[in-house]
Structure 1
Amino acid sequence: MSLRLILGFDYGTKKIGVAIGQLITGQARELCTLKAKNGTPEWNKVEALIKEWKPDAIIVGLPLNMDGTHGDMCLRAAKFARRLSRRYSLPFYTYDERLTTVEAKFERHNRSGQIGNYRNDPVDAIAATLLLQGWLNDKLL
């Protein structure tokens, strides 16, 4: 199976950023931010995204520690990726997403001047876009 359309997820315990990307153009863009409760999303909203976009695969960011080791959040993100894969019969890939949230906040600040509290205007979808774009860039090299 050739990959064309990919959904990227920036996993979090309260919010999960989602982005869409395609190998043909090598571009990713923000889709939405899903609410999560202790890392569990509203599965009906995930399913709606899967049905709407019909991705060929999913990418989930792994928040590795700065030294490259796997912490608790990394293990939870990997578990989330496996759940998505089993639930929707899609291949999944993981991608090192270290510092994407920091980069996303910097990007938001450059776009709108926002500094500080991101609760009402989260950056999770931007972080998902950054990690998916990184994966696409690596894939296309």
Structure 2
Amino acid sequence: MHEDAPRPAVTSGVWLGLDVGTRDLGVAVGNELTGRARPLKTLAMQPEALMWTTLDAMVSEWAPGGIVVGLPLTREGGEQPMSKRARRFAAAVEQRYQRPVVQHDERGSTQVAKRRFAGERAAGNARRKHAVDIDAHAAAVILEDYLALAGH
């Protein structure tokens, strides 16, 4: 598993982005050619079997060449309690799907996602009921940030 290391070789230009929370998992899909990502879905982390079954289906459908997992860090860039959980989850994802997994600093992603969502609502492109998918929007922000830094 890489942590913002040189970009691993992937077999597809499609990437999935994951924002791991205590209750929810945000999922986004992106393309390394365009550097763009879009939110797909927010999954409940419990029951765990259902979360994995749903994620399995998404990995099968999108066939990503790599997966980016957000790494929660403190404002100063240090580890925090959620960092360990995200690392364990990233290791499980890598083992389960046998694809390159990269952990990427997710600081500020939720705030950016909320601002984007507010802009979409103001433009009439999103409804309040979609606010529950903010974790999926954050996953898209994390993925786009990674793709931009990786040179896409």
Given the two structures, how large is their TM-score scaled by the length of structure 2? 0.82
Residue 132 (1) aligns with residue 143 (2): yes
Quote the residue 2:40 is aligned against: 31
Letter matched to residue 51 of structure 1: S
Aligned pairs for 1:87-98 (under 5 A) are 87-98=96-107
Aligned pairs for 1:102-141 (under 5 A) are 102-112=111-121, 121-140=132-151
Q: Point out where structure 2 has 5 or more consecutive residues left out of the alignment.
A: 1-8, 123-127
What is the number of equivalent residue pairs in this alignment? 138
Whole-angstrom distance in 2 between the partners of 1:11 and 1:39: 13
Secondary structure in 1 matching 2:150: helix
Letter matched to residue 18 of structure 2: F
Aligned pairs for 1:1-141 (under 5 A) are 1-2=9-10, 3-37=12-46, 42-112=51-121, 121-140=132-151
Distance 1:39 1:138, change over 3 A: farther
Q: CA deviation at 1:41?
A: 6.4
Q: Is the CA contact (8 Å cut-off) linking 1:19 and 1:125 kept in structure 2?
A: yes
Given the two structures, how large is their TM-score scaled by the length of structure 1? 0.88
Q: CA deviation at 1:120?
A: 6.2
Distance 1:16 1:52, change over 3 A: same
Q: Is the CA contact (8 Å cut-off) linking 2:117 and 2:131 kept in structure 1?
A: no
Q: CA deviation at 1:122?
A: 3.1
Identity, in percent, stands at 35
Q: What RMSD over aligned residues (CA atoms) do the two structures have, in Å?
A: 2.3
Q: CA deviation at 1:118?
A: 8.3
Q: CA deviation at 1:121?
A: 2.3
Secondary structure in 2 matching 1:25: coil
Q: Is the CA contact (8 Å cut-off) linking 2:41 and 2:133 kept in structure 1?
A: no
